Amino acid sequence: MVTAMLLGPAAAWLVVFLVLPFIAIIVFSFGERAPEGGYQPAFTLAQFANLGARAAAFANTLTLAPIGALACLLVAYPVAYYLAVKADPRHRMLLVSLVVVPFWTSMLVRTYAWMYLLGGRGIPHLLDLVGFSDVRLLNTPGAVLLGIVYGYLPLMILPIYVSLEKLDRRLLEASADLGAHPFSTFFGITVPLSLPGVMTGIALVTILLLGEYLIPQLLGGGKVFFIGNALVDLFLQSRNWPFGSAIAVTLVAVVVMVLLIAMRIAWRVAGTRQVDLM
């Protein structure tokens, strides 16, 4: 009874702001575009049949989001490891906040900065001076990837840092005591025991990337197009709500599938059911 009362507000909030809109999106996705734009009731699979028209956005998102998350991971793990294990405990909090502080300025501003750096008057200009002319950085998948790693790094570092931080140092000593080279200790003990943090980071970054809109827009130009961009376009520009809804529903289905698979893998590797993804 008390539990029900405590959970009540949260449940109501979820229903109003998450479940209801999601049902609306599902309903929309089976409808038709009204002549003047928006939604008009119908029951048709035409929107889903038309998904192919945005195949490029799907392809870009579904390749660059996981690749971006992996690239983030490769950069974040050593940083998190250094912060949690190697750094002097007295400076640890300062270093961790240095990781977070850039997050306090607007993502838009920071991405604009990269746009300038990668654009004609930025790095390519410098390269031109030393003899490499006509290097194109902006509006390439590489630029989008760079923006992703830069923008999402703290989200990957923090959960890994947390799981490495609470890793029992005596386990590492026990491993060394049993004859394991530091290398084997790292891959046999440290990495598996930090997997919950790694999985949380990957899930967090991947899910947010699937809806990413700003980075492809600014650093990818019109060329590297994400699902997020397609949605903005369909809902705000061409006002084709049913088609946008169908894309959104498909995206959610893909995310859920990715999550389920990720959890399976995490359970298998960590050998326990106590992997919390979120």
Partner 1 sequence: MGSAARDDIEFRSVTKAYGAVTAVRNISLNVPKGAFLALLGPSGCGKTTCLRMIGGFEQPTSGEVLIAGSGMNGVPPYRRPVNMVFQHYALFPHFNVEQNVAYGLRQMRPRIPAQEIKRRVGEALEMVRLGGFANRRIHEMSGGQQQRVALARALVNRPSVLLLDEPLAALDKKLRSAMQIELQTLQRELGITFVLVTHDQEEALSMADLVCVMSGGAIKQLGAPQDVYDRPADLFVADFVGKTNHIQATLEADGRTLRLPDGSALDVGAERNIGAGETTLAIRPEAIRLTPGGEPRGEGFAGTVTHRIFLGSSVEYSVSVPALGDFLVTADRSTDEGQLVEPGQSVRLGFDPAAAHLFPASHAAQPEGNTHGQQT
Contact residues for partner 1 (CB under 8 A)?
A: 168, 170-171, 173-182, 184, 188-189, 192-193, 270-272
- State the nearest-atom distance from the C-beta of 269 to partner 1, in Å: 9
Place of tokens 């050998």: 271
Q: Which is nearer to partner 1, 36 or 177 (CB)?
A: 177
Minimum distance of partner 1 from residue 182's CB (angstroms): 8
Look at the chain and count its residues: 278
Q: Where are the beta strands (DSSP E) in the chain?
A: 32-33, 39-40
* Nearest-angstrom CA–CA distance, 192 and 275: 11
Q: How far is the CB of 93 from partner 1 (least distance, A)?
A: 21
Nearest distance in Å: CB 176, partner 1: 4
- Residue 40: beta bridge partners? 32
Whose tokens are 């946008």? That residue is 244
The answer to whether 115 and 144 are in contact (CB under 8 A) is: no
Closest by CA to 58, choosing from 218, 231, 201, is 231
Give the residue with the Cβ less far from partner 1, 128 or 276.
276
**Residue bearing tokens 């035409």:** 46
In angstroms, the CA 226 to CA 89 distance is: 41
CB of 94 to partner 1, least distance (A): 21
Q: What residues are paired with 32 via a beta bridge?
A: 40
Nearest-approach distance from CB 216 to partner 1, in angstroms = 38
Phi and psi at residue 88, in whole multiples of 5°? Answer: -60, 125
Three-state secondary-structure class, residue 240: strand
Give min distance, CB of 181 to partner 1, in A: 6
Provide the token pair at 71: 């690239």
CA distances from 167 to 34, 98, 153, 164 (A): 57, 22, 21, 5
